[in-house]
Structure 1
């Protein structure tokens, strides 16, 4: 009970146990918690588990990150940075920016796009999880805060706390980007768009109970011929039923 409710003090735990028919002294509650290494309520609440925070705000949290891609250009291989944002509840992803020259002003413009009142990806989000990348400048963070998005900055070297975006990066690399070298920025953008279409509409997600993020009206149909479809020259495949 104390672990699940970090703000419950000794007295409140005693009283809740009383509701359940257990008569126990406050000092007994204290002794049991101390023996198990559980701190008093003020200290426990300061150290509320990361999962508790995620559960409490699940429908209002997004997370963002970068990944790099080597692109063949007229000047040889150039490293591009891809900045993306994920809605943790739905797993929807938006590619927010692609550039070979990321800098503070570019990030501010990306922030404006993300918080646009009409169609910004973050317009209904209250929290954005970010790591300590220096590209998240003070100006970028201030812009998001002024738009109503609170920044949650992760400790250094803690990828496990941003596991959902880390998993997306692993997926897009192993299923797509590690299989070819993009020939120019346009080719890279096309490949990213094709992968996102597959990711949202055609790829089942274990974290969503095996469901699609954006199922079509034909999803689950039991009649009609089964046909295979592909993207990116056959790298990405899926199967669906044709209309009867």
Structure 2
């Protein structure tokens, strides 16, 4: 083992003496070439790939390093690689840009608008899209609209119309309102009942009232108050979904039937028939009432009203494209940057956080 150590030290000494005999330019070029190869090998890729700048640097350094040293140093490139790079450079120099025949392509913004109109309106053909564009002041030929839709992979109108149950139910949701009653137990073991209405189309929640004794007279009066609050919008309601509780009497149904609403009682022990209302009850319990000790009616009204405001004005909904019910008609917010300040608004003493951009 000692003899091997002496042998290695002697080899390193001779190599050091050989380096002293070489010029500084040759050694610096070799060091730069090896460092550049190491930088290329460290890139996060399956295999090292040379960019045009890497090819230029390696070709220049190979000219400085002697032929004898090239064979002794482990290189990532070979003479054939350099010749191939040179051939590509010559081909690139003498390749002239060719101009495609025909008319110039339409602006990308116009192409995106055509595709957007076609996708948002499955029943529109290219002629209908062409007419809508003319109404927007965009002069474009109908054949161009057809070509844009074909290049985007959009089928003709009869083939892309969605006739699924999901699309059918979504189209009817704006005329459906559901109602339900759920209870909250206070810290003093008193039970209060909350009556609410929720629109299937907008997912907007209306808290009708809170009481300890949900009698049929009280329920009916809350229904009248709800229709009065809606005003002219009540005419858009066609169906009302409710459960078969004893408090939903014929007088309650008569309030809605008087304006042409068809009341649909759910089947016994089938809560999925009123799934959207049940989902809101679960959200309210998980995010608010189950995390607070309710002391009384006044406290309960405060908690329920604050959560309803959060639900309608800020909480995102997947069925609404991650937008709250009250902001459906407003334009989408602008994309934030790294310098955009974010403000946090607390509800229920910090139990619920809302985040908005600072203007």
TM > 0.5 = yes
For the Cα contact (< 8 Å) 1:86–1:165, is it kept in 2?
A: yes
Choose from 160, 169, 189 the match for 2:272.
Answer: 160
Q: Secondary structure at the match of 1:116?
A: helix
For the Cα contact (< 8 Å) 1:68–1:80, is it kept in 2?
A: yes
Matches within 5 A, 1:42-191: 54-55=169-170, 57-72=172-187, 76-116=188-228, 119=231, 122-191=234-303
Q: Secondary structure at the match of 1:94?
A: strand
For the Cα contact (< 8 Å) 2:170–2:201, is it kept in 1?
A: no
In the alignment, what sits opposite 1:207?
319
CA distance in 2, matches of 1:126, 1:220: 36
For the Cα contact (< 8 Å) 1:68–1:81, is it kept in 2?
A: yes
Q: TM (normalized to structure 1)?
A: 0.71
CA distance in 2, matches of 1:50, 1:139: 33
Q: TM (normalized to structure 2)?
A: 0.49
Q: 1:79 to 1:123 in 2, by over 3 A?
A: farther
For the Cα contact (< 8 Å) 1:113–1:120, is it kept in 2?
A: no
Higher relative contact order (CA 8 A, sep 6+): 1
Q: Which structure carries more strand by proportion?
A: 1
CA distance in 2, matches of 1:121, 1:111: 14
Q: How many positions carry a matched residue from both structures?
A: 192
For the Cα contact (< 8 Å) 1:65–1:84, is it kept in 2?
A: yes
Tell me the CA shift for residue 57 of structure 1.
2.6
- The answer on 1:240 being equivalent to 2:353 is no
* Gap runs ≥5 in structure 1: 1-48
In the alignment, what sits opposite 2:336?
222
Tell me the CA shift for residue 155 of structure 1.
0.7
CA distance in 1, matches of 2:229, 2:247: 24
Q: Secondary structure at the match of 1:134?
A: coil
Cα RMSD between the aligned structures?
2.5
